[in-house]
């Protein structure tokens, strides 16, 4: 009884040779499916969905051609009257002699015939009555390194005011004087106020006389600073 249990069944022995046969059969079928299309000479049909579709579309109509622009209107030039006295733009073919106009009135110059001189239209009676204009006065120049200061040739001592003496006021008055080309003082002004002494100093300076100052050989007015001292004794 136990020995019969371990014996192989007769059905399993008959099916063992069918497995290799089945594998070989499947291999032949698969080889036919894949190799047959490659070896075939005929072209394969194209799929229906790969065929392009063509639809006829009519082009839109062209727009009408634009109208050509109208030619610009020429501006009418104003009518001008030819001036007979104007110079011609082109050379004339011949020169026409014109007779001088003799109907013009004579020009009055105010100059008697045979005497006097001057410009046409400006009346001048005689040459002796002509008076040349006076030259403009030259501005005074300040005494500096290039201009030598003039020397005083006439001195006038200032008068000490009695009120200043009583108040015991003393000091120095600084004055700016303009000396003319003839050496005389034309004007004077005080540069530093000094009560009771300023007017006395100005009155004295206006009477001073200096040597004329020359520049390039010509006498010129100058501006210089002078001092007047008042000292109590």
pLDDT tier at 175, thresholds 50, 70, 90? very high
**Each residue's pLDDT tens digit, 39-87:** 655 565 565 555 556 667 777 787 787 888 877 777 665 565 666 667 7
CB 214 within 8 A of CB 147: no
> In this structure, is residue 52 part of a structural domain?
no
List, in sequence order, every residue forming a beta bridge with 184; answer none if it has no partner.
209
What pLDDT, on a 0 to 100 scale, did the predictor assign at position 223? 93
Query: 175 is written with which tokens?
Result: 């004055």
Task: Name the 3-class secondary structure at 213.
Answer: strand
Rounded Cα distance, 27 and 29, in Å? 5
What pLDDT, on a 0 to 100 scale, did the predictor assign at position 49? 53
What pLDDT, on a 0 to 100 scale, did the predictor assign at position 210? 95
What pTM, to 2 d.p., does this model score? 0.42
> In this structure, is residue 6 part of a structural domain?
no
> In this structure, is residue 68 part of a structural domain?
no
> In this structure, is residue 162 part of a structural domain?
yes
pLDDT tier at 107, thresholds 50, 70, 90? low
Task: Residue 168: give the domain boundaries.
Answer: 141-230
* Cα dist from 67 to 60, 62, 64, whole Å: 21, 15, 9
Tally of domains in the chain:
1
Mean pLDDT (the chain) is 75
> In this structure, is residue 72 part of a structural domain?
no
> In this structure, is residue 210 part of a structural domain?
yes
Tally of CB atoms within 10 A around 111: 17
List the single range of 87-101, 128-142, 195-209 with lowest mean pLDDT: 87-101
> In this structure, is residue 2 part of a structural domain?
no
Task: Annotate 189-218 with b (16+ C-beta within 10 A) or e (fewer).
Answer: ebeeebebbbebbbebbeebebebbeeeee
User: What's 217's domain CATH number?
Assistant: 3.30.2420.10
> In this structure, is residue 164 part of a structural domain?
yes
């Amino acid at each position: 009884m136990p020995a019969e249990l371990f014996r192989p069944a007769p059905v399993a022995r008959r099916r063992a040779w069918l497995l290799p046969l089945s594998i070989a059969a499947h291999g032949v079928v698969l080889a036919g499916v894949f190799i047959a299309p490659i070896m075939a000479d005929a072209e394969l049909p194209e799929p229906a969905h790969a065929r392009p579709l063509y639809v006829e579309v009519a082009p839109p109509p062209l727009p009408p051609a634009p109208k050509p622009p109208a030619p610009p209107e020429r501006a009418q030039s104003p009518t001008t009257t030819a001036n007979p006295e104007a110079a011609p733009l082109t050379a004339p073919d011949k020169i026409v002699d014109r007779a001088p106009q003799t109907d013009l009135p004579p020009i009055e110059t105010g100059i008697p015939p045979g005497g006097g001189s001057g410009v046409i239209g400006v009346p001048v009676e005689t040459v002796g009555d002509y008076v040349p204009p006076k030259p403009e006065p030259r501005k005074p120049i300040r005494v500096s390194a290039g201009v030598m200061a003039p020397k005083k040739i006439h001195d006038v001592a200032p008068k000490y005011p009695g009120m200043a003496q009583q108040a015991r006021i003393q000091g120095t008055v600084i004055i700016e004087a303009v000396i003319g080309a003839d050496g005389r003082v034309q004007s004077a002004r005080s540069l530093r106020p000094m009560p009771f002494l300023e007017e006395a100093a100005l009155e004295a300076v206006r009477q001073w006389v200096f040597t004329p100052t020359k520049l390039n050989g010509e006498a010129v007015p100058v501006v210089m600073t002078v001092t007047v001292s008042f000292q109590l004794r």
